[in-house]
Structure 1
Amino acid sequence: MTALPAGHEVLPDSDAVARAAAERLVAVAAATQDRVGICLSGGSTPKLLYRLLAGPEFRDALPWDRLHWFFGDERVGDDAEAGSNRRLAEEAFGDRVPDGQLHPIPTDRPAQAAADAYAATLRTWYGADALDPARPLFDLVLLGLGEDGHTASLFPGKPEANERDAWVVAVPEAGLAPFVPRVSLTLPALGSTPLILFLVTGAGKRAPLARLAAGEDLPSGHAKARGETVWLLDEAAAG
C-alpha cells in the first residue's frame, strides 16, 4: 500500500468518499448559528458530493439560508471550459441556494481582472484586508489532488504555488490540460479554515500520494488547515 498522508481515512469507493464529506459538511453547518462559508472544488467526486447535498438524504439537514458557497479555482476566458466549477455547483444545487449566496469567480474577463474581482469579493465577505489567524476566511474548504500533485489551480513549478501575500492569483498557464487560463485561491486563503477535506479517488491518484509521502515539494502538500486537514481516500487511490 502507498504511504498515506497524516489524517487520512480510507473508504470503499468514490460514493463513500462523497457521503463522508457530506456528513462532515452537515456537522460544520450545525456547529454554528451564524453564516457558513464553504469553499468548493471541481471534479467528479465533488460532483457526487454536491448531488448528495441537494438530494433527499441531506438537503433537509442543511441550513441553506445560512450557507455561502465560494470556489477554490475556476477556468476563465472565452473557452468552453470556462466556468465549469460554477456550472457544476449550479446544476447540482438548483434553486436551493438563495440569491447572492453563491459567489462564483467571474469568467467574463481576463484572468488577472477576474482574480482582482474575486479578491474583492472575499475581502467584502471577510470584512478585512488581511487574514487574522484567529478568524478563518472559510468554515470548510474542499480540495482535490491532481495527478501531477496540484491542488485548486496551484501547479508544481508554477509561481502561483509560492504566493504567500495575495488571496487570489491569475494562472495564465495551467500545468496540464486543458491549458486555459485560470484563477485560483492561494495557499494562505485556502488554509484560512478550521477544516480542509481532500477528496481523492481513483488509481490515478496513487502516484501523487506516493510523491507526497516521499517528501516531494508539491502544492497539495502545503495546503493545510489551521485546524484539521483530512484526506478522504477511496481504496483505489489508497492502493
Structure 2
Amino acid sequence: MIQLHAFDDQAAQSAALAQAVSNALQASLAAQTATPGVSAGRVTFAVSGGTSPRPFLQTLSHEPFDWSRVDVTLVDDRWVPDTDSASNSRLVHETLLQNAAANASYLPLVDTSTTLEAQVAELNGDPKRRVPNVAVLGMGEDGHTASIFADAPEWDFAITTTDHFVAVHPGSAPHARVSWSMSALKKVDHLFLLIAGPKKMDVLNEASATLQKKAISQLANDKGVRLDVYWCAN
C-alpha cells in the first residue's frame, strides 16, 4: 500500500520527512522499553545515498531524541572506499552523523579490505545486522530501489532470497554494490520513499499499477507492505 505525501518544495519535503522519521524512530525506541524489567533495547535505521537525501539527512540530524540507542546503517552502498565521492557511507558521515545524531552508532556495509562475497557472507552472519525498524529508500528512474537492479545478474536471487544482504553487479550503473534484499525490505516496520520530480512519480505510478520487473514494483504491489512516499514536485 502506498501513502503519498506531496510537497511543492524540497525544504518542506525534508522537514516533513524528518519529522515522520523522528516519530517512527521514537515509537520504535518506546516499543523496545515497553516490557517492565527489560533493559532498553536498540533500533536500526537505514538510509539511502545519492544527492536527493542530503537536505533531509541534515535536517534529521538535529532531531532531539535518544540517538545513542540508534544503529544507523545504509540501505545499500557501492563497493568503494568510504573516502570515495561515490560512497554512501561518506555521505552519511557528512550529513546525518552530526549534531544530535552524532550520538548514534554506525554500521557500514562496505569493507574493501576483503572481497565483496566475503563481506556479504559476514553481514548475513552478523547478529547485530537486524532488519531495520525504520528505512528511507530512494528510487532510480529505472525503478530500482536499494541496489536491486533489474538488469543485474543477481535480480532473481535478490528478490527471492531470505538472506538479508546481497551482492549486486548492475549492468547500467557503475560499481558493484551491497544491498539489503527484497525480503528484508518487506519486513521493515516503517518504510519511507524519498523522490522528486514528475518523471519519478510517473515511474512509481506505472510500477504500482501492475507488477513489473522493477524493485519498486515488487514493494508497491505487496499488500503486506506500507510505503510512505514523500514526493516533491520540483
**Superposition TM-score tier, normalisation by shorter sequence:** 0.7 to 0.9
Shift of 1:163: 3.1
Shift of 1:185: 0.7
- Residue 226 of structure 2 corresponds to 228
From 157, 161, 165, the equivalent of 1:164 is 161
1:41 corresponds to 2:48: yes
Identity rate, percent: 24
Relative to structure 1, the CA distance from residue 125 to residue 115 in structure 2 (aligned partners, 3 Å threshold; closer, same or farther) is: closer
SS of the equivalent of 2:148 reads coil
- CA distance in 1: counterparts of 2:217 and 2:83, whole angstroms: 30
TM (normalized to structure 2)? 0.80
From 204, 207, 211, the equivalent of 1:209 is 204
Shift of 1:117: 2.3
- CA distance in 2: counterparts of 1:79 and 1:62, whole angstroms: 27
Q: Work out whether residues 147 and 207 of structure 1, in 8 Å CA contact, stay in contact via their aligned partners in 2.
A: no
Relative to structure 1, the CA distance from residue 217 to residue 51 in structure 2 (aligned partners, 3 Å threshold; closer, same or farther) is: same
SS of the equivalent of 1:180 reads coil
User: For each residue in 1:120-142, what CA deviation from the matched residue of structure 2 results, as whole angstroms up to 9, or x when unmatched?
Assistant: 33x3344xxxxxxxxxx221111
TM (normalized to structure 1)? 0.79
1:188 corresponds to 2:183: yes
User: For each residue in 1:150-206, what CA deviation from the matched residue of structure 2 results, as whole angstroms up to 9, or x when unmatched?
Assistant: 0010012433343322211111x21433x2111111011112221110001124414
- CA distance in 2: counterparts of 1:174 and 1:227, whole angstroms: 25
From 69, 72, 79, the equivalent of 1:69 is 72
User: For each residue in 1:23-44, what CA deviation from the matched residue of structure 2 results, as whole angstroms up to 9, or x when unmatched?
Assistant: 1121122221442211111122
Q: How many residues align?
A: 214
Name the Cα RMSD after superposition: 2.5
- CA distance in 1: counterparts of 2:11 and 2:192, whole angstroms: 15
Q: Work out whether residues 69 and 102 of structure 1, in 8 Å CA contact, stay in contact via their aligned partners in 2.
A: yes
SS of the equivalent of 1:21 reads helix
- Residue 107 of structure 2 corresponds to 103
SS of the equivalent of 1:223 reads helix
Q: Work out whether residues 25 and 134 of structure 2, in 8 Å CA contact, stay in contact via their aligned partners in 1.
A: no
- CA distance in 2: counterparts of 1:21 and 1:192, whole angstroms: 20
- Residue 94 of structure 1 corresponds to 98
What amino acid does structure 2 have at the position aligned with 1:65? S
- CA distance in 1: counterparts of 2:52 and 2:12, whole angstroms: 10
- CA distance in 1: counterparts of 2:129 and 2:115, whole angstroms: 23
Shift of 1:233: 0.9
- CA distance in 2: counterparts of 1:14 and 1:40, whole angstroms: 18
1:9 corresponds to 2:18: no
Gaps of 5+ in 2: 34-40
What amino acid does structure 2 have at the position aligned with 1:120? G
Q: Work out whether residues 75 and 82 of structure 1, in 8 Å CA contact, stay in contact via their aligned partners in 2.
A: no
| Higher relative contact order (Cα pairs below 8 Å, separated by 6+ residues) | 1
Q: Work out whether residues 46 and 72 of structure 2, in 8 Å CA contact, stay in contact via their aligned partners in 1.
A: yes
- CA distance in 2: counterparts of 1:110 and 1:155, whole angstroms: 21
Shift of 1:62: 2.4
Relative to structure 1, the CA distance from residue 45 to residue 78 in structure 2 (aligned partners, 3 Å threshold; closer, same or farther) is: closer
- CA distance in 2: counterparts of 1:151 and 1:167, whole angstroms: 15
- Residue 24 of structure 1 corresponds to 20
